[in-house]
Amino acid sequence: MDRPFPATHPEVSIVIPARNEEANVRACLESLVAQDGVAFEIIVVDDQSTDRTREIAQGIAGVEVISPPPLPPGWTGKNNAVVVGAARGRGEWLLFTDADTVHLPGSLQRALAEAKQYSAEMLSYSPEQITVTFWEMAVLPVVFAELARQYPPKVVSDPASPVAAANGQYILIRRDTYDAVGGHAAVADNLLEDVALARAVKRSGRKIRFRYAADAVSTRMYRDFSKLREGWTKNLALLFPGPLSLAAKTLVLWAFAWGAFFYAVLGLRGEVAWWRLLFIFGPIALGARLRRANFDWVNEALGAMFGMPMFAYLLLRSRSAHAGGNVPWKGRYYSDTPKLDGGGTAGGLHKQSATRTSGLATEN
């Protein structure tokens, strides 16, 4: 597309909060600057990175890099970053996307057309999840299968349903809608800002469209087990009402399916007992439960074998961290979280004050 870059009058302002994303940010930005068919600008908000994130972003033509102000009391780091990015943007639409995403050619133009086609004030995509390590492959199918069960995209997209959700890795929203609901400033204390923002949009009577979008964007969320554990510790207790009961249910289903399987296999060694054959389908039933997560059969098999008990552990760990008011995320510690309503619907953080301990920024 032959156009000045960045756009003089952008229709879309792309806002990317980035904190220590040197492993991801180049691929993300290169996929975005290559978009065509729509006028846009790209704003990277470097949230006090201590690695090469800022240097890499500044080295890509057409990308503006800015810094957020000091973290206000009660705010999360991401909300602080995206608010300043949104204020900087000039577009009629805002696209909030994460530095660990990669955007397919032409996806921005198609997303904008899709939002207009469905009269959606807010369009959110659940990206294709790239898994490489063992625990990525085992855990993510379980998490996303449960998310699809808790927040069915068709239900979220139904204006008659109160269920609202969004994936913060890709949120395209009209500027006037964003401003009308208060934007991220209205959910500044919320660690689950994407769902909180979606709820605010839906409560205002505006339409949301939400779907799985492997045709538009992909992501690799966590590159090792420690990051995976920290990320889901932050989110799981907020995403699922009753994390304790969900953890127990998951463990019971997993233990029953595999216990029945081995009982049937061992019982069939002597004589054929046809009724025992039914129990062999226990693991297959677990795999079928994971189908809605949109992973391949290898990931589903690992999820059925190893991911389900790990998911239960992460649910319990998340519940404990939130109940104890000590939730780590990207070198910051979020505390004074309110009591979880029924286990899983916390509104956010009550108060924080920035301090430094051994060079680590913490929020208390």
Distance (Å) of CA 134 to CA 57, 61, 140, 297, 303: 30, 36, 10, 14, 10
Task: Work out whether strand 170-174 and strand 122-126 pair parallel, antiparallel, or are unpaired.
Answer: antiparallel
Amino acid at the residue 23? A
Kindly report the CA angle at 104 between 101 and 108, in degrees rounded to 5?
90
Nearest CA among 189, 173, 54, 170 for reference residue 101: 170
- What would the two tokens of residue 361 be? 């920024």
- What would the two tokens of residue 281 be? 């389908």
Placement of tokens 């199918």 in the chain = 141
Q: Starting at the edge strand that comes first in sequence, how are the strands of the sheet with 40-46 ordered?
A: 63-66, 40-46, 12-18, 93-97, 170-174, 122-126, 208-212
Residue 204 main-chain phi, psi, to 5 deg? -75, -5
Cα dihedral value 240, 345, 163, 15, nearest 10:
-90
What pLDDT does residue 261 have? 83
- What would the two tokens of residue 350 be? 């009550």
Cα dihedral value 81, 348, 237, 147, nearest 10:
-60
What pLDDT does residue 277 have? 65
What is the rounded distance in angstroms from the CA atom of residue 237 to the CA atom of residue 242?
A: 8
Q: What is the pLDDT of residues 13-46, one digit of tens each?
A: 999 999 999 999 999 999 999 999 999 999 999 9
Give every residue of the chain whose pLDDT is below 50, as ranges. Answer: 1-4, 336-364
User: Which residues are CB-neighbours of 313 under 8 A, at least 6 positions away?
Assistant: 247
Is the pTM of the predicted complex or chain greater than 0.85? yes
In order of their start, the domains of the chain are: 12-127+167-223 (3.90.550.10), 239-342 (no CATH)
What is the rounded distance in angstroms from the CA atom of residue 320 to the CA atom of residue 324?
A: 6
Nearest CA among 250, 136, 150 for reference residue 195: 150
Q: Could you tell me if residue 135 is left (phi over 0), alpha (psi between -120 and 50 degrees) or otherwise beta?
A: alpha
